[in-house]
Amino acid sequence: MALLEVIDVTQRFGGLQALSCFDMIVEEREIVGLIGPNGAGKTTVFNLVSGFYTPTTGEIRFRGKSTRGMKPNQVTALGLARTFQNIRLWNDMTVLDNVRMARYHWLGYGLLDAILRTRRYAQAEKAVEAKARHVLEIMELEDCATELPKNLPYGLQRRVELARALTVEPSLLLLDEPAAGLNSADVDGLIRQIRWIHENFDVAIWMIEHQMKVVMTLCQRLTVIDFGSIIASGTPVEVQKNPKVIAAYLGEERL
């Protein structure tokens, strides 16, 4: 069974058809990419998969289970995590707290435990703390654990967001333009980090990315959309040669 199946999904916002008949399958432990010109509907796909939108028609299945009617936090509980195109961190919480919060669904204690400081509370918090520190260490962020994200440089903020998503221990990680706004040294670091994550975690990665260097080196398969429809899919090399893709999107970039 595939990890994620997006089957014939169409999304309309009033009269606007943002996405039509979109199909996609992501297998366990794959790295795949979604590319397309601005406004093609890429982020709409991610918003549908992560449960922010309910598809107008069609079906999204995570490990065979339909996510229709689920709220984003319920989809996350199934093992999906994502980052955002425009960074969405909690800016008045420390980096450590940001990462800790990703374990919210699995805390396993409630209001009374928190107030009475029961043993269950103590154990859960200890486990969450250890987990968060571990991820910060992996992501080379342990030095800024007590900083507020808003005081960090942009590249680090992106890394914190990635760390937070990893703390969910997802089986599918959606990255929405992870390299946006990074300089070329940071991009190389990001590529190394994503590869490392892929090798060391049991996780499939689906990314939207404009920087061809990132998708070409990392992705095993690419899907290209334009005006809400798939215009090509295949290996990076195949896609690169596809005349439709060149016309729609890659033309100016001359890969």
Partner 1 sequence: MQRNALTVLLALVCIALVAAAQYRLLDSYLLTVLMFMGINIVFATSLNLVNGYMGEFSCGHGGFMCVGAYVGSILSVALFSGNKLMGPALLSPALAPLLFPLVLLAAFAVSALCGLLVALPSFRTRDDYLAIITIAANYIIISVVENIDAIGGPRGFSGMKRTVLAMEDVVDIPWMLVWVIVVTIVCVIIQRRLMSSTYGRGICAVCQNEVAAEIMGVDTNRVKLMAFMLSSGLAGVAGVLYAHVYGYVNAQAFNILKSTEGLVMVYLGGMGSLSGVILAAIAFTLLVEGLRFAIPALNDLLHAVQLMPASYEISQVWKWVLLPLLLVLLMQFRPEGFLGNKELTDVFPRLKRWMRSGSGEADGRGAS
In contact, 168 and 102? CB cutoff 8 Å: yes
Binding to partner 1 by residue 104, rule CB under 8 A?
yes
Q: List the end-to-end C-alpha distance of the chain, in Å, as a whole number.
A: 35
Choose the binding region for partner 1 from 89-97, 136-144, 210-218, 224-232 (rule: CB under 8 A): 89-97
Q: How many residues bind partner 1 (CB under 8 A)?
A: 38
In contact, 79 and 4? CB cutoff 8 Å: no
Binding to partner 1 by residue 109, rule CB under 8 A?
yes
Choose the binding region for partner 1 from 97-105, 198-206, 217-225, 247-255 (rule: CB under 8 A): 97-105
Binding to partner 1 by residue 164, rule CB under 8 A?
yes
Write down the least CB distance from residue 173 to partner 1, Å.
12
What letter represents residue 120's amino acid?
Answer: R
189-209 in b/e form (b: 16+ CB < 10 A) is: ebbebbeebbeebebbbbbbb
Binding to partner 1 by residue 91, rule CB under 8 A?
yes
- Give the span between the Cα atoms of 2 and 4, in whole angstroms: 6
Choose the binding region for partner 1 from 11-19, 37-45, 110-118, 198-206 (rule: CB under 8 A): 110-118
Q: What is the token pair recorded at 112?
A: 């009374």
- Give the span between the Cα atoms of 62 and 79, in whole angstroms: 9
> 37-66: which residues touch partner 1 (CB under 8 A)?
50, 52
> 114-153: which residues touch partner 1 (CB under 8 A)?
114-115, 117, 121, 124-125, 128
Binding to partner 1 by residue 102, rule CB under 8 A?
yes
**What is the number of H-type helices and E-type strands within the chain?**
10, 10
Residues that bind partner 1 (CB under 8 A): 50, 52, 71-73, 76-77, 81-82, 84, 88-93, 97, 100-107, 109-111, 113-115, 117, 121, 124-125, 128, 164, 168
